[in-house]
Structure 1
């Protein structure tokens, strides 16, 4: 069975938490990490430094473009932090059958609001960020027609148990949202035959 869900990790890479996410979705998944092999960080600072050493968000975006060239069966994308930003920058508009994209706290998206995604895209930002005002980003994205929202009371990393911003309550809520999106059947519309 070919994988239909692409999970694009944050700077921590492919962790046991990502394996847990895959199990909770109940779908075959492909995991994209900024690292070529099993990198493991002790803390966020080390993970971020390793991410920069691996080429940063633009290199990660190019890696994602290469993945989707080979994996044309992808129907759902879930991206976190640097992964969300990299997916946004990769602008994979040639994926014709992409049903949903859900991007969590992709902070560099704020620098590239002019990108136009051709697929249904749901952007979720933490209410509290040190480097920028997520409220302004959400407002700008909504004005451009995107489904964008704030996770109220949350900090960056609320979906990642390895992050200092982790929130179990918020993670549980969004895992349910993701499961519903992925479980939806996307059947082609049946043409209606009108009487003669």
Structure 2
């Protein structure tokens, strides 16, 4: 079984590589083919992602990687990576993906019709500017194979490069993630 980290719009960064090393995960799916883009801000990373990649292309990258190389995977996704995992969850079976943990996938709000075919844990931040987190959490928690929780931190709390990075929360989640991938 392989554990795979699916990046946010920042892509493969030194901080994400460090997280993977701590988790003993060697596979990273990112939107930029493994190139560290060196973005200076979330706004810059998001704008570049939207202009040059887009959600559907990123979803296609993830699906191709998973289906062709890594059956029986555990996926860990952040932001747009989490949303891509969510979108993938009704396209591939539990033979392909065994389990997924998705952090602050805000685009999930636009994909509520998805019916996951594998176990998926959604970790939402305490608030989001574009939607009611509690309402979405409640709606998605009723779906089969879904566990949805809300934490007391903001979107990006696991990303060192985010304005909302939280070292204490990162450490707490790292311990939980280690249990999933060991």
Secondary structure in structure 1 of the residue aligned to 2:70: coil
Aligned residues of 2:66 and 2:96 also touching (Cα < 8 A): no
**Number of residues of Structure 1 aligned to a counterpart in Structure 2:** 179
Output the aligned Cα RMSD.
1.5
Query: Over alpha carbons, which structure has the higher Rg?
Result: 1
TM-score by length of 1: 0.86
Please say if residues 9 and 79 of structure 1, whose CA atoms lie closer than 8 Å, have aligned partners that are also in contact. yes
Structure 1 gap ranges (5+): 184-196
**Secondary structure at 1:175 match in 2:** helix
What runs of 5+ residues in structure 2 fail to find an aligned partner?
none
Compute the displacement of 1:71 (Å): 1.3
Provide the rounded CA distance (Å) in 2 between the counterparts of 1:46 and 1:108.
Answer: 18
The whole-number CA distance in structure 1 between the counterparts of 2:21 and 2:80 is 22
- Alpha-carbon contact 1:157-1:166 (below 8 Å) kept: yes
- Listed one character per residue, the Cα deviations across residues 42-100 of structure 1 (whole Å, up to 9, x for unaligned) are 11111001111223211110111111122134521000001111121233423505332
1:172 corresponds in structure 2 to 171
CA contact (8 A) 2:92 2:117 kept: yes
Deviation readout 1:91-134 (Å, 9 max, x if unpaired): 34235053320000000111111111111100001012111111
TM-score, length basis structure 2: 0.92
Asked if residue 118 in structure 1 is aligned to residue 112 in structure 2, the reply is no
